[in-house]
Amino acid sequence: MVYNYCTLFDSFYLSRGLVLYESLKATTPNFKLYIFAFDTQADKVLRELRLPEVVVVSQAEFETPQLLKIKSERSRGEYCWTTTPVIIEYCINTYRLTHCTYLDADLFFFSNANQLVDLLGDKSVMITDHRYTPRYDQSKTSGKYCVQFMTFKNDNRGMTALLWWKDRCLEWCYDRIENGKFGDQKYLDDWPTRFEGVYELQHEGGGLAPWNIQQYHVVFNNKSLSVKSRANASEWPVIFYHFHALRFLAIDKADLGTYTLKTYVINLIYRPYLDTLVKTNRLLLEYGVKFPLQSYTTKKRIPIGIHKTLRRLLGVYNIFSLNKLNNNV
């Protein structure tokens, strides 16, 4: 059996998308990854790389007049959210797939992704709970479920949910809270009761992220990672981690976000990802892809010096030199 995955990204996220692919290749057998290139540079580089088990899809191949109109009306991020259900449907219909799993481009797999898809069993749709640590709970605004790892079967139940979601995103999908909606995510809140055949992922090693890692103790044993739940002492192999909010401030400096992260979590989970990401960024320079630097800013426009001081006081100053990741700089 071939396990089908899809993702989307532009040249700004190209290195992350390639690291996602490399992590799949290193951990997951019998997979096919459909990559939707969201600008011409990403499309060009991906085709030149000729990655095994990858199918590259350009925007011109799937964009309809309706999508092109929406594209002109929404931000880049909003358009990516809008098209998430579109690309899943495109894969299923165009390549006649029995199922397809959407992956966010900033995921990294530590173990076989297929074992999560297998948990779907006789269900038709898989969704993943944010499992927020209480202090970071944004369920009321961002939604209970995260659009990060979602599987749809090509059957009546799976396609009913997918097409309903696609229609809602085409109607409204913005980076703001409005009438109980937010982006493409809040639409998922009632799926276990709205649709038949919906499975909420129970494997706690899938869906690890900076907003929930505080609930776990990370264990490294026999060259593999697992997490122990602090609530019930259960242990789970780490399948994937979602590197949300990570950004580069310089070619050798990264900001891991404003979540509380233990040093050993940074070394065991973030270090392997960053090491691979830096190597990929340098490789892409040979293809003319600029290093994806992002400015150190805050939405509230707090002066940088004060913002850094506040983060240090709160214990969330997660800015690191990549050649000395154990030490804040």
Choose one of 200, 230, 258: the last residue of a domain.
Answer: 200
Query: Quick one: 195 and 254 in the same domain?
Result: no
Choose one of 147, 167, 200: the last residue of a domain.
Answer: 200
Q: How many domains does the chain have?
A: 2
Contact 240, 188 (CB under 8 A): no
- Give pLDDT, residue 52: 97
Task: Please tell me the distance from the alpha carbon of residue 320 to that of residue 23, in angstroms, as a whole number.
Answer: 23
Query: Quick one: 193 and 272 in the same domain?
Result: no
Evaluate whether residue 120 is within a structural domain: yes
Count Cβ atoms within 10 A of the Cβ of residue 297 and give its class: 0-12 exposed, 13-18 middle, 19 or more buried: exposed
Evaluate whether residue 310 is within a structural domain: yes
Q: How far is CA 315 from the centre of its chain?
A: 25
For residue 240, give the H/E element and its range: strand 240-242
Contact 205, 216 (CB under 8 A): no
For residue 42, give the H/E element and its range: helix 40-49
CATH number at residue 49: 3.90.550.10
Evaluate whether residue 261 is within a structural domain: yes
pLDDT at 237 exceeding the cut of 70: yes
pLDDT at 324 exceeding the cut of 70: no
Evaluate whether residue 232 is within a structural domain: no
Evaluate whether residue 123 is within a structural domain: yes
Q: How far is CA 279 from the centre of its chain?
A: 20
Strand, coil or helix: 177: strand
Choose one of 200, 216, 236: the last residue of a domain.
Answer: 200
- Give pLDDT, residue 325: 52
Task: Please tell me the distance from the alpha carbon of residue 103 to that of residue 17, in angstroms, as a whole number.
Answer: 10
Evaluate whether residue 227 is within a structural domain: no
Contact 117, 206 (CB under 8 A): no
Q: What is the pLDDT of residues 28-59, one digit of tens each?
A: 999 999 999 999 999 999 999 999 999 999 99
Q: What is the pLDDT of residues 162-213, one digit of tens each?
A: 999 999 999 999 999 999 999 999 999 999 999 999 999 999 999 999 999 9
Q: Looking at residues 230-248, what average pLDDT do you find?
A: 92
Query: Quick one: 28 and 174 in the same domain?
Result: yes
Look up residue 160 and give its two tokens: 């009913």
Domain of residue 56, residue span: 3-200
Task: Please tell me the distance from the alpha carbon of residue 49 to that of residue 35, in angstroms, as a whole number.
Answer: 13
- Give me the residues paired with residue 227 across strands: 218, 236
Query: Quick one: 279 and 189 in the same domain?
Result: no
Look up residue 312 and give its two tokens: 């240090």
**Cβ neighbours of residue 193 closer than 8 Å, sequence gap 6 or more:** none
pLDDT at 98 exceeding the cut of 70: yes
- What is the gyration radius of the CA atoms in the chain, in angstroms? 19
Query: Quick one: 195 and 269 in the same domain?
Result: no
Strand, coil or helix: 91: helix
Evaluate whether residue 174 is within a structural domain: yes
- Give pLDDT, residue 287: 92
Evaluate whether residue 152 is within a structural domain: yes
